[in-house]
């Protein structure tokens, strides 16, 4: 009897770059429930290391982080991995608007979620980002 072919499983690996442990854990849980495969980096340096060893389909990135902020991480990632340039979803608190990040996000063409955001906003932004 011939073997039945297995359905193709599409794995969407998402890198979550967030220095707030509680928010990173929550994002991890939501992404798993959305049948995505998340990995967490606690800062931009750790994210760059992970990007060197694993292929990701998208990056969810806080803008204000120690060591390497979200803007610097985006610029480095977009240069090294151009396919990710349109696949960043930035998350931020109100303070980053005062730091000039809003203009950067607008120029990048990527989406932005302001903290606090609800799960439905996150789901919609993920769906839109993965469709790019």
pLDDT in tens, the chain (132 residues): 567 666 555 668 999 999 999 999 999 999 999 999 999 999 999 999 999 999 999 999 999 888 899 999 999 999 999 999 999 999 988 655 556 777 888 899 999 998 889 999 999 999 888 887
Q: Where are the domains of the chain?
A: 13-131
| pTM as predicted | 0.88
User: pLDDT of 2-25, one tens digit each?
Assistant: 676 665 556 689 999 999 999 999
> Residues 115-119: contacts with CB within 8 Å, 24+ apart?
115/23, 115/91, 117/91, 119/30
Helix spans in 1-132 (H): 21-33, 44-53, 70-80, 95-98, 101-108, 119-131
Q: Name the CA dihedral angle for 11, 12, 17, 23, rounded to a multiple of 10 degrees.
A: -90
Assigned CATH topology for domain 13-131: Rossmann fold (3.40.50)
């Amino acid at each position: 009897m011939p073997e039945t072919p297995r359905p193709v499983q599409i794995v969407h690996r998402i890198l979550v770059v967030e220095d707030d442990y509680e928010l990173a854990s929550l994002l991890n849980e939501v992404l798993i429930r959305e049948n995505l495969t998340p990995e967490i980096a606690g800062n931009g340096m750790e994210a760059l290391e992970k990007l060197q060893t694993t292929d990701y389909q998208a990056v969810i990135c806080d803008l204000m982080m120690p060591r390497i902020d979200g803007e610097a991480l985006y610029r480095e990632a977009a240069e090294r991995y151009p396919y990710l340039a349109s696949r960043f979803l930035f998350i931020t608190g109100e303070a980053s608007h005062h730091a000039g990040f809003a203009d950067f996000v607008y120029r990048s063409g990527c989406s932005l979620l302001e903290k606090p955001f609800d799960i439905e906003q996150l789901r919609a932004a993920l769906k839109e980002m993965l469709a790019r």
